[in-house]
Structure 1
Amino acid sequence: MKLTRRGWVVLGLIGFCLLMAAEYGSRSLNAVVAPLVIVFVGALVTAYRTKRPRFQRRPVEEGYPGDRRTVELGVDVGAATTATVSDRLSEGVKPVDGGNVMETTLIDGEALSYEIELEGRGKHAIGPMTVTVTDIFGLVSRRFRYDQTGSVVVYPRVYDLRGGAKHDLQLLEDAIRAYDREEFDHLREYERGDSLRDIHWKSAAKRPDDELVVKEFAADGSVGSATLAGECIPGKDDEMAMALASVATYLLRQEVSVGLSISEGTLEAETGERHHLELLRALALAGDGEVDGRTRRKADVLIQADAAGIFVMAGEHEIPFDRLRGVDTARSQDTQTDDVSTQSSSSGTQAVADGGRATERPNHSHEGGETPSNEVRSS
């Protein structure tokens, strides 16, 4: 127990009155001193007899950065008690309007609540909590500390890839859908990123404009199943998780079964909202690190985040994540070397080992910024 500022004022006033009574007589001061002493002693007794309030934390709903959630505390207290409740929050969440510090009256059976805003990906602690109880006159306080904590999971940011470059999205889908390369479908004009082995050289030679054409093969009709793998250098785990979450959300919307492999473990390929939330929850807790070579080779889509940026490897193609989500497309394309011209020139590229297979990566000096214009909240 300790005296509040008001309590020290009352105690000082009592002392001053007693001093004056000793000097000039107590008859004229009894009317002042006696009530103050009664109130002060009553405050001490009340604070001493106050029982420790009990609280029960209720689960906080998971969400995306920028979402608001309500923190609720069930109250179990014998009698109505005036108190100041302070609930500590870790980085990654913040209180709305300072709501985690509440001056209130605790009433048995009534819950306390306040709002928080989710900021950063991860699992963030809520608590511990401190409760300061005062008597009805606010003279004496007693502090109780509670070690019990709660938590809230914040998903990675998810961007809607449907606004990205259509050709890059097609490359992403082609990497997971099965095609019968024996069943020729039609010819079309060559587009940046097409495989050289699909160029129909005889038809291209007959075209007067020397434009290349590529062969299109018939799909086998199956929707497909994809395994996503992700790895990153230290400090790039947020970027990796963001890219994995965005690609997984896009594929699930295409009714593709999506599996996940990261350094912490794997999730089998499934579909549906429940599986989507499982993927987001796993990515909320993902850290940096690499997957093993076997996992890297078996992945249908590999996402790497390093000092050069975020890159999505789909089949034989490497796509900057910025371009895939439709941000800074022109700049990204300027740094890409045409697949045909790379046969005669490899300047400005660096070889990146991919499970024993070397791919060429253009030197990028920019990273994917988190512009929320195409950010999505759910699948």
Structure 2
Amino acid sequence: MRVTRRGWGVVAVVGFCLVMAWKFGPRSLNAIVVPLVVALVAGAITVTRANEPRVSRAAIEEGFVGERRAVSLEADVDRPIAAELADDVGRGLSATGNVAETTLAPERGYSYELELECRGKHEVGPLSLSVTDAFGLVERQFEIDRTTRVVVYPPVYDLRGGSGDDFALLTGAIQESRRDEFDHLREYEHGDSLRNVHWKSAAKRPDDDLVVKEFTAHEDDGTVTVAAESVPETTDEMAAATASVVTYALESAVPVDVVVPDGSASATARHDRRDVLRLLATAGPGTLAAETRREADVLIRADEGGTTVTIDGLEVPFERLAGATIDGGADPRRGVIT
């Protein structure tokens, strides 16, 4: 318990009045001193009897960089208490209203707005709570350690707004995942994917044209594998590019397997992509195994030179594919926090 600045002002007034009473008599000063002393004593008793409020937090919905979320707090108290609260928000988040003066009351909560600035898993809390008396003369401070976590996804860009040739290359790689069983060989034609070349047959006939594999299409869609890697400074760009390619594939009704240096996840439809987005929210830098890069339908790499999407051995700068953001919207070049 401690006296507030307003309380020290009251103490100063009371002290001054006592000095004046000692010099000139107390008769005219009793009407000032007695109410102030009563207010100080009552405030001290009220605050001393106050127990630490039991504060509960509602879960915070996951979201994309640039979005806003509500943080809701509820204190279990027996009666209304004047309080000043300060809720800590970690790096990668910003808040409006997390420091405020309010009244804690039964069945009455407090909420404020949180802005998601950087992808990752972030902590909200702990809460610093100062309980005061009705006049704000005496306060008692509590530190409530309970926190809650919010997961922030990377932004997703609409690839349909990118360059026509580059977009067609990506679309071809995704649609080819629908193939299933091998059917027969045929001569190579301009525009065929190099992944379909039957290299063993080509090695046996070096003077002839290449041959490619034909597959029998089935009603069930295949799965496109998206592999991604980055250096430490560009992990956010990698995550945003991967999330964008994954979202486009799922919108095309093609299931996706995602592989990054520190994990993997799968999704079969856009509404089912949460596991993939959570993986990309915390994905770190690193290099994939050579076999993983070779077997990927789409390989994404981000380094100091930029972010590239490699399809059939052809590298396409991601900036040529990316259009407007469709989920999130902040600059993906901000630092990652995991």
> TM exceeds 0.5?
yes
- Write out the 4+ residue segments of structure 1 that deviate beyond 6 Å after TM superposition: 183-187, 214-219
- Contact 1:186/1:217 (<8 A) preserved: no
Corresponding residue number in structure 2 for 1:300 = 297
Instruction: Give the TM-score normalised by the residue count of structure 2.
Output: 0.84
Match of 1:359 in 2: none
Alignment check: 8 A CA contact 2:93 2:118 kept: yes
Deviation at 1:258, TM superposition (A): 0.2
Percent of pairs with identical residues: 43
Structure 1 spans left out of the alignment, 5+ residues: 199-213, 327-373
Displacement of 1:27 in angstroms is 2.0
Deviation of 1:164 (Å) = 1.5
Q: Deviation of residue 147 (structure 1)? A: 1.5
Contact 1:185–1:218 at 8 Å: present in 2 too? Answer: no
How far does residue 216 in structure 1 lie from its aligned partner after superposition? 10
Contact 2:267 2:275 in 1 (8 A): no
Distance 1:251 1:196, change over 3 A: closer
Determine helix, strand or coil for the equivalent of 2:273.
helix
Aligned partner of 1:88: which letter?
D
**Would the aligned equivalents of 1:47 and 1:134 in 2 still touch at CA under 8 Å?**
yes
In 1: Cα distance, 2:311 partner to 2:135 partner: 70
User: Which residue in the other structure is 2:263 paired with?
Assistant: 265
Alpha carbons of structure 1 residues 246 and 196: separation in structure 2 relative to 1, 3 Å: closer
1:33–1:325 Cα change, 3 Å: closer
Structure 2: how far apart are the matches of 1:60 and 1:27? 60
For the aligned residue pairs, the C-alpha RMSD in angstroms reads 2.7
Secondary structure at 1:34 match in 2 = helix
Letter of the aligned partner of 2:158 in structure 1? D
Partner of 1:291: 288
Alignment of 1:166 with 2:116, yes or no, is: no
TM-score of the two chains, using structure 1 as the length reference: 0.75
The answer to whether residue 329 in structure 2 is matched with residue 375 in structure 1 is no
Residues 76, 108 of structure 1: 8 Å contact kept = yes
Matches within 5 A, 1:1-379: 1-95=1-95, 98-176=96-174, 177=176, 178=179, 182=184, 220-222=216-218, 223-267=221-265, 269-325=266-322, 374-377=324-327
1: distance between equivalents of 2:267 and 2:85?
44
1:65–1:121 contact (8 Å) kept in structure 2: yes
What is the one-letter code of the residue matched to 1:67? E
For 1:216-268, what per-residue CA distance to the aligned partner results, in whole angstroms no more than 9, with x for missing partners? 9977435431111111111111010011000000101111110111111112x
Q: 1:181 to 1:243 in 2, by over 3 A?
A: farther
Q: Distance in 1 between matches of 2:168 and 2:214?
A: 14
2-structure distance, mates of 1:265, 1:65: 21
Contact 1:88/1:127 (<8 A) preserved? yes
User: Matches of 1:185 and 1:115 in 2, distance apart?
Assistant: 61
Contact 2:123 2:148 in 1 (8 A): yes
1: CA distance between counterparts of 2:115 and 2:184? Answer: 55
The alpha-carbon deviation at position 174 of structure 1 amounts to 3.0
Q: Judge conservation of contact 2:86–2:100 (CA < 8 Å) in 1.
A: yes
